[in-house]
Amino acid sequence: MKVTNFFVQTLREAPADAQLPSHALLLRGGYVKPLSTGVFSIFPMGKRSLMKIENIIREEMDAVGGLEVELPLVQTADLWRESGRYSAIGEELLRFRDRNQHEMVLAMTHEEAVTDLARSALSSWRQLPFMLYQFQLKYRDEARARGGLIRVREFTMKDAYSFHATQEDLDEYYEKVRAAYVRIFERVGIEPVVVQSDTGIMGGKQAHEFMLESPFGEDYLILCRRCDYQANGEIAKFAREELPEEPLPLEKVATPESESIEEVSKFLGIEPKKTMKAVFYDCAGKLVAVLVRGDLEVSETKIRNFLHSGDLVAAGSDLIEAAGMVPGFAGPVGALDRIKAAGARLLVDESVAKAANLVTGANEAGFHLKNCNWKRDFDGELGDFAQADTGCACPHCGEKLEAVRGIEIGNIFKLGTKFSQSMGAVFQDEDGNRKPAVMGCYGIGVGRLLASVVEAHHDDFGILWPKEVAPFQVEIVSIGQDAAVLEAAKKLHDELEAAGWEVLWDDRDERPGVKFKDADLWGAPVRVSVGAKALASGSVEWKLRSEKEFRLVALDAVEAELKAFWGR
């Protein structure tokens, strides 16, 4: 392929709003172009790499028995009402009416559509198990589109759905897909971090996320470097520190102008872990008070999962005061009766139960209570409500945990019967009983994976594509417009293409520096430069994108060098 015949345009500088390396380099290299916020057009250069990623995914899905299908983007609202998700999902689900005033949605996931497809044909246990997958456009009305292809509104996803007769069969197949995902990511040049995750709007019993560790990631990952415990920060568990002491009598102390944990700790001369703070939420109009040790933060995901409700926002002062507590000086002592009377709930993190003689609010402005103890002075619903962070103890081996940032590149869920039960995807078992199919779900955002590969493989000059993802295997750069140079470059280009190589020939009448800069942006693993000086001795300049220096190789040995490099 000649550059002069190829539809591509590079940029010398990245737009000011491109904050992630992948965003900047995909724009500069002529891979993508923004059409609107979170919506991108894909140039031919980008499409070539996307198709390679899709083919890798397709090969691995086929290898675990997947069958490719295609499901509609536009779906009826009634289908989503069957599953219960039409009302459960917020504004990110785009709803509209067609010309006949039928309520419709643009699908952000395809559980409903695939369950509808499955129930139309599923009747017997003999048909199970099976897995259906697709590459399909989806739309999510994302409020925080950012980072180029990392967080978008319109995207192509590979989503797969498996159907099983038993939970045990799903468990076994889930591990096969998990292994297939690891192979996919390794083939595109990423070593994934696999973490336990929240099931979220997907529901189900268990989920894992595949992450690229990156300082630009939006997710916090909690990792143990000793025993390989790994979890998303939203749900990560950790062992609470034991802080035992002989319980002392409650003591009311004045703490003027001291409301925050930092202010109270400084005023009383104690560590933050010797305090207890109350965090308040409004859950469908009812107060939820969460008590946690002062040096820890609350995990809203854990609270939502405990309450089985996604309706959780910060509580207003009126709701807090109605339950007998004073904002800024709130505490549980003496407030339990009013909490119950107000229909509120008091959740107590395990860190509070394992400490003694904590400082908490006295429910009076300007005062706190010293020596507050769980059970003796207050009660509530005990559970895991705190967020793990660097330095917390691993729940498995006790080693200190590490919090790092990560970009989600894939996820898998054990959906169970959440969709099959509500939508009637049932089968008759060997004994003649009708049962709902047990389902699994497995997703990879193709565009996000492309961007993640760039995040993992780039330098200051451009992209260093892994071999299986590079849009072209080799780029030929002809230096100057000398007739002999152009003839040699054309002959090499034609011979390599005829031999099955993916070749890009920069035949433009441009300065060598311009061509080399663009070659770095396009990131072909191999660059072959044809110039008059080297050609005089029958040689060309051979340079790997991953290396700084070039070397001379004989012109007639280029294909042999390519075969050796690519392992053919």
568 residues of the chain, pLDDT tens digit each? 999 999 999 999 988 889 899 999 999 999 999 999 999 999 999 999 999 999 999 999 999 999 999 999 999 999 999 999 999 898 999 999 999 999 999 999 999 999 999 999 999 999 999 999 999 999 999 988 889 999 999 999 999 999 999 999 999 999 999 999 999 999 999 999 999 877 664 455 788 999 999 999 888 999 999 998 999 988 899 999 999 899 999 999 999 989 999 999 999 999 999 999 999 999 989 999 999 999 999 999 999 989 988 788 999 999 999 888 899 899 999 887 888 888 899 999 999 999 999 999 999 999 999 999 999 999 999 999 999 999 999 999 999 999 999 999 999 999 999 999 999 999 999 999 999 999 999 999 999 999 999 999 999 999 999 999 999 999 999 999 999 999 999 999 999 999 999 999 999 999 999 999 999 999 999 999 999 999 999 999 999 999 999 999 999 999 999 999 998 8
Please name the amino acid found at residue 399.
Answer: E
**Which tokens belong to 472?**
């072209």
**At 49, is the secondary structure helix, strand, or coil?**
helix
Strand-strand pairing, 526-530 and 474-478: parallel
Beta strands in 197-311 (DSSP E): 206-213, 219-223, 230-232, 251-254, 276-283, 286-293, 297-298
Residue ranges of domains in the chain, CATH in brackets: 46-219+406-454 (3.30.930.10), 251-387 (3.90.960.10), 474-566 (3.40.50.800)
- Between helix 44-63 and helix 446-456 the angle, nearest 10°, is 110
Angle at 247 (CA atoms; ends 244, 248), nearest 5 degrees: 135
Strand-strand pairing, 358-361 and 367-372: antiparallel
Residues near 21 by beta carbon (within 8 Å), at least 6 away in sequence:
216, 454, 455, 458
Q: Are 93 and 141 in contact (CB under 8 A)?
A: yes
Beta strands in 83-153 (DSSP E): 94-97, 103-106, 130-139
Residues near 370 by beta carbon (within 8 Å), at least 6 away in sequence:
248, 250, 251, 252, 253, 268, 357, 359
Taking phi over 0 as left and psi of -120 to 50 as alpha, with beta for the rest, 559 belongs to: alpha
Query: 541 forms bridges with which residues in the sheet?
Result: 529, 552
Sign of the alpha-carbon dihedral angle for 301, 307, 312, 318: negative
Segments in 64-166 forming alpha helices (H): 77-83, 85-88, 111-121
Nearest CA to 488 out of 524, 526, 541 is that of 541
**At 183, is the secondary structure helix, strand, or coil?**
helix
Q: Distance between CA 334 and CA 294 in Å, rounded?
A: 20
Q: Distance between CA 259 and CA 264 in Å, rounded?
A: 6
Q: Are 17 and 38 in contact (CB under 8 A)?
A: no
Residues near 308 by beta carbon (within 8 Å), at least 6 away in sequence:
none
Residue with tokens 């990392």: 150
Q: Distance between CA 434 and CA 414 in Å, rounded?
A: 21
Residue with tokens 């978008």: 152
Measured in degrees and rounded to the nearest 5, phi and psi for residue 289 equal -105, 130
Predicted structure pTM score = 0.88
Provide the pLDDT for residue 204.
Answer: 58
Neighbours of 557 (CB within 10 A): 14
**At 524, is the secondary structure helix, strand, or coil?**
coil
Measured CA distances, 180 to 129, 324, 521 (Å):
17, 54, 30
Nearest CA to 467 out of 493, 498, 502 is that of 502
Residue with tokens 């000011």: 16
Q: Are 109 and 88 in contact (CB under 8 A)?
A: no
Q: Are 235 and 197 in contact (CB under 8 A)?
A: yes
Provide the pLDDT for residue 323.
Answer: 87
